[in-house]
Chain A
Amino acid sequence: MDVTRIVFLALAAVAVVSAYRVVTAPKIMHAALWLGFTFFLVAGVFLTLGAEFLAAAQVLVYVGAVTTIILFGIMLSQAAEVRSRDPLPSELLEGMAFWRRGVLPVVATVAFVAIMVMVYLRASWPAPTGGVADTVRLIGSALFTTYVIPFELAAVLLLIALVGAIVLAIRDDDKEEQGS
């Protein structure tokens, strides 16, 4: 087992644990920080795969921008609104919640992982192509030649996301509309 592989496995294992912490952390701020950490580890995975550009973009966009925006969002919203769930009224409901929230996800996850591992092991994957140098240039030229239409479509997608977010979030300044 060479070094790259060990590094890859270590990064992947920590990334899985930290992704698990994102959904189980009781405080939303901790969840956001775990999320940022997960993004960072994924960037490391990209590096071990020889995708330097993707790794850099991952750090800049996800760790830098997305996590920061999420933290801003948490800090600007009223903290009282965001808290972990209250205990359920009856013991029966608690018991059901234990099955649904505790046992069922574990069973589903184990089954899913088992199936996927079997699937991965049984497939004969195409032989790995050798590493490529100069990925930035390759990605750049592919993006603006072969994949120019998907690239433009991604721009349209960005516009949709912008307009959609503004429409849902903007406060009415219309005097006729009360109580918004």
Chain B
Amino acid sequence: MPVDGSLGLILPEIVLAAAGMVVLAAGLTWRQSRLPGVLAILGIAASAAVLVNRVWGQTAEIWSGTVMVDGYANLFKAIFLAVAAMTVLVSLDYVHRNRLPAGEFYLLLLLATVGMMFMTGSLNLLTIYLGLECLSLASYSLSGMLRKSPRSTEAALKYILIGAVSSGIVLFGMSLLFGVAGSTHLRDIAQALAHNGSLAPVLVAGMMFLIAGLGVKMAAVPFHMWAPDVYHGSPAPVAAFLITASEAAAFGAALRIFLVGLPALADEWRTVFIVLAVISMTVGNITAILQTNMRRMLAYSAVAQAGYIMVGLAVASDRAVSAMLYYLMGYAFMTIGAFAVVILLGRQHPSEEISDFKGLGQRAPFFALALTIFLLSLIGIPPTAGFFGKFYLIQAAVGADLTWLAVVMMINSIISIPYYWGVVRTMYLREADDKAPLPAPAGLRWAAVIGVLGTLALGLFPDTFVQIVSAVQVVPAWISMAF
């Protein structure tokens, strides 16, 4: 054991991984029962309890600098656990109905979450990369789990091919950084860069590879080609998980890598992220208008949302980082909530076309109302999380003399109104062919309730949450002192 307490500080990850094993074993014995799902929820709850009681508020770099525990990492761990719990809730009925192998499904979900926790919980490129790979490999197999659906198989195949290439690109970028710094630790890379300006071309090359590789996970244009097919073809709960958690993890790791490891190249990577943000928003929103399928629409809307969030990365001030974290929290609640409604509808209309939503206002009033709130939040209308998220991002952009970027963001929000609002109109103003109420499983109901509560709480008490996120430091204090 290196230092006392090192084990205690990664206990949330250990508990989660152990819960995964229990779930797998339970899935072997009770193949067609909901027990594995319930056990997964309990495991997530146990991990969250350990996180809150034992780890919250602590700051330490442990295990020879391969794991970093601080407010930033803990906040992301909390977000990931919340997303994982909501994903399990929306999966309970889905897994059972589609006869997915429950033990394996929840195991992969939990281990993907462990991977994400290490992605944001480290300043060492090695750990970050391994976390990313855990997330990626679990995502590939999760997205192909509907083996009778050609769409799902296509999604898994496309994702694994593009994902494998992007992993290679990330690794190549990391190897360049390692080559000049002689260390995989971000602090050493930052120091090598600060002391020797002639290294810059290599580091710029490494930086570009990292942006491209992580851009694939963020689904930013032009690295988004896999996203519509994967979000459309994979099992709906998996799509919800990937669209929120995987994207958040990529942003979380990117913030750490670029702000801690490459601050000297800030001008270069900020320019790249500004360009990516503008084209992601614009391409995502304009393509989303053309979609008739709900899940494809949400996929392109996710590309656009990634563009909004990337504005925070492009500005990269303290304020922008807080805005990003706030937005990521809100985005998780509203997107998984929206997917809960899509999954509910998918029980009767497997095609999930937007026209299938007609009359949902009568058939499932609560879910229609919930979806309305989520879509309003995705547009950015007060008093929802989406409004304040965009507001803080715009404020940060203006504060950094990027007013034009803020204007582009506002124009894009306006472009997005028709396609989000179209769904609301279909739900309330068009009559359904079949007016029978939609039966709702408890898991979906709970997920929608949590989504609504989260979206509204973030929107109604923004100050409380802004205080939480602005207390978080991306660059640990002891690193900024080292220069």
Find out whether the CB atom of B196 lies under 8 angstroms from the CB atom of A154: no
Q: Is A159 an interface residue (CB 8 A)?
A: yes
A151-180 interface mask toward B, CB cutoff 8 Å, 1 = contact, 0 = none? 001101101110111111000001001001
Q: How many residues of A contact B (CB 8 A)?
A: 32
Find out whether the CB atom of A160 lies under 8 angstroms from the CB atom of B111: yes
Q: Is B457 an interface residue (CB 8 A)?
A: no
Task: Give every chain A residue within 8 A of B182 (Cβ-Cβ).
Answer: 126
- By size class, the interface of chain B is 35 or more
B114-144 interface mask toward A, CB cutoff 8 Å, 1 = contact, 0 = none? 1100100000101100110110011011101
Instruction: Please name the residue on chain B nearest to A120 by beta carbon.
Output: B202
Task: Give every chain A residue within 8 A of B64 (Cβ-Cβ).
Answer: 145-147
Task: Give every chain A residue within 8 A of B67 (Cβ-Cβ).
Answer: 149
Task: Give every chain A residue within 8 A of B112 (Cβ-Cβ).
Answer: 160
Q: Is B448 an interface residue (CB 8 A)?
A: no
Task: Give every chain A residue within 8 A of B133 (Cβ-Cβ).
Answer: 157
* Chain A nearest CB, measured from B458 CB (Å): 32
* Chain A nearest CB, measured from B293 CB (Å): 25
Say which one of B101-109, B322-330, B400-408, B423-431 lies at the interface with A.
B101-109
Find out whether the CB atom of B66 lies under 8 angstroms from the CB atom of A156: no
Q: Is A107 an interface residue (CB 8 A)?
A: no
Say which one of A72-80, A88-96, A111-119 lies at the interface with B.
A111-119
Task: Give every chain B residue within 8 A of A163 (Cβ-Cβ).
Answer: 24, 104, 107-108, 141
Evaluate whether A125 and B138 lie within 8 angstroms (CB atoms) in the complex, with A118-B201, A153-B118 already known: no
Residue among A119, A120, A147, A153 facing the most chain B CB atoms (10 A cut-off): A153
Find out whether the CB atom of A159 lies under 8 angstroms from the CB atom of B111: yes
Find out whether the CB atom of B141 lies under 8 angstroms from the CB atom of A164: yes
Find out whether the CB atom of B180 lies under 8 angstroms from the CB atom of A168: no
Task: Give every chain B residue within 8 A of A115 (Cβ-Cβ).
Answer: 205
Roughly how many angstroms separate A147 CA and B125 CA in the complex, as a whole number?
12
10 A–B contacts from the bound complex (CB under 8 Å) = A116-B205, A120-B202, A122-B202, A123-B180, A123-B202, A147-B64, A156-B17, A156-B114, A160-B134, A168-B147
A contact residues vs B (CB 8 Å cutoff): 115-116, 118-120, 122-126, 145-150, 153-154, 156-157, 159-161, 163-168, 174, 177, 180
